[in-house]
């Protein structure tokens, strides 16, 4: 049973998750631009790839923006977390094997030490994020059930990965959980806060376009 589920989740299930993610993203972006054309002429008029990219870069490069310098801890931890969450799905050896076996992508593979370190750092970062959410008054105030669920799912994803990787007792179950959680998270990207992955270039980009192009001021 778990074998069929495993096969499904790494095969058709994964493809389905990817398809939902892509279709959902395209749908959301399509809807966004359809409404932009109808309702927000200013967006198209003022959006500038130059100023958008400038602003996005200054906000992504750690310690380039004033706020990232004011919060060095958060900047460091969040950079490491994002590095882990973006690279591990592609370059962790087991993932890379799955990807190349299914003929989707042929990618270089991280040495074990790199992926292990990133995964452990990822868990630590998630604990830090959860700590902030629970302990900092302003973050707790704006946190909703969905925010906790999202963090929880990411924790399950990372810790089950480590569990399976180090073959601790019950690792088969752990890897199944990992794969299910991964697929669910991929599929949920367009419909949850994870949508910041594709909205960020639009939202930060538009802010950068207005500040840079219209108001002639830097915005980082």
Partner 1 sequence: MTESNQRIIDADDKGLDAGLALFDEAKVRRIIKKVVDEEASPRLKAYLSTCVHCGLCSDSCHYYLSRDKDPAYSPAGKVKECLLPLISGKKITPAILKKAAVVAYTRCNLCKRCSLYCTLGVDIAYLISVVRRICHLCGVVPHYIQDTANSHSATFNQMWIKDDEWLDCLYWQEEEAREEMPEISIPVEHEGADVMYSVIGPEPKFRAQLIYQAAVIMEKAGINWTFPGTRGWDNSDMCMYTGDYETMGRLKKAHFDTAIRLKVNRIVMGECGHAFRSVFDTGNRYIGWKTPPIPIVHAVEFYHELLTENKITIKKKLATPVTFHDPCNIVRGSGLHEMARTVVGHICETLIEMEPNREHNFCCGAGGGVINCGPPFKNERVLGNRVKAEQLMAAKAKGADIVITPCHNCHGGLEDIIQHYGIDMEIKFLSDIIYETMEI
Smallest separation (angstroms) from partner 1 to the CB of 85 = 13
Residue closer to partner 1 (CB basis): 70 or 113: 70
How many Å separate Cα 129 from the centre of its chain? 14
| Integer-rounded Cα radius of gyration of the chain | 20
76 binds partner 1 (CB under 8 A): no
The correct pick among 93, 109, 147, 171 for binding partner 1 (CB under 8 A) is 147
For residue 4, the surrounding DSSP H or E stretch is helix 2-10
Residue recorded with tokens 């994020």: 129
The correct pick among 16, 57, 60, 162 for binding partner 1 (CB under 8 A) is 60
Smallest separation (angstroms) from partner 1 to the CB of 144 = 7
Q: 196 to 215, contacts with partner 1 by CB under 8 A?
A: 196, 199-200, 202-208, 211, 214-215
| Cα distance between residue 158 and residue 119, in whole Å | 7
Q: Say how many CA atoms lie within 13 Å of 108 toward its Cβ.
A: 4
219 binds partner 1 (CB under 8 A): yes
71 binds partner 1 (CB under 8 A): yes
CA angle, corner 114, sides to 112 and 119, nearest 5?
A: 95
143 binds partner 1 (CB under 8 A): yes
The correct pick among 8, 40, 93, 184 for binding partner 1 (CB under 8 A) is 40
Smallest separation (angstroms) from partner 1 to the CB of 202 = 6
Residue closer to partner 1 (CB basis): 100 or 193: 193
CA distances from 173 to 5, 76, 94, 107 (A): 11, 33, 16, 27
| Cα distance between residue 161 and residue 63, in whole Å | 30
CA distances from 38 to 33, 96, 199, 211 (A): 8, 43, 19, 23
* 126 phi/psi in degrees, rounded to 5: -65, -40
136 binds partner 1 (CB under 8 A): yes
Binding footprint of partner 1 on the chain (CB under 8 A): 31-32, 35-36, 39-40, 42-43, 45-46, 55, 59-60, 65-68, 70-71, 74, 132-133, 136-144, 147, 193, 195-196, 199-200, 202-208, 211, 214-220
């Amino acid at each position: 049973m778990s074998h069929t589920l495993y096969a499904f989740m790494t095969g058709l299930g994964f493809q389905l998750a990817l398809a939902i993610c892509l279709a959902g993203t395209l749908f959301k972006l399509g809807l966004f631009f359809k409404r932009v054309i109808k309702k927000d002429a200013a967006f198209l008029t003022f959006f500038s790839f130059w100023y958008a990219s400038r602003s996005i870069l200054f906000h992504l490069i750690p310690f380039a923006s004033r706020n990232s310098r004011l919060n060095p801890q958060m900047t460091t931890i969040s950079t490491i977390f994002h590095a882990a969450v973006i690279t591990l799905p592609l370059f962790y050896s087991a993932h890379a094997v799955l990807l190349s076996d299914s003929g989707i992508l042929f990618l270089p593979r991280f040495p074990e030490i790199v992926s292990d370190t990133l995964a452990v750092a990822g868990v630590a970062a998630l604990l830090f994020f959860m700590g902030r959410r629970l302990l900092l008054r302003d973050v707790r105030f704006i946190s909703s059930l969905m925010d906790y669920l999202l963090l929880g799912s990411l924790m399950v994803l990372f810790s089950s990965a480590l569990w399976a990787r180090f073959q601790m007792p019950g690792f088969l179950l752990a890897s199944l959980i990992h794969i299910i959680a991964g697929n669910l998270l991929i599929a949920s990207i367009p419909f949850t806060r994870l949508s910041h992955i594709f909205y960020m270039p639009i939202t930060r980009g538009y802010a950068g376009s207005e500040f840079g192009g219209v108001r002639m001021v830097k915005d980082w």
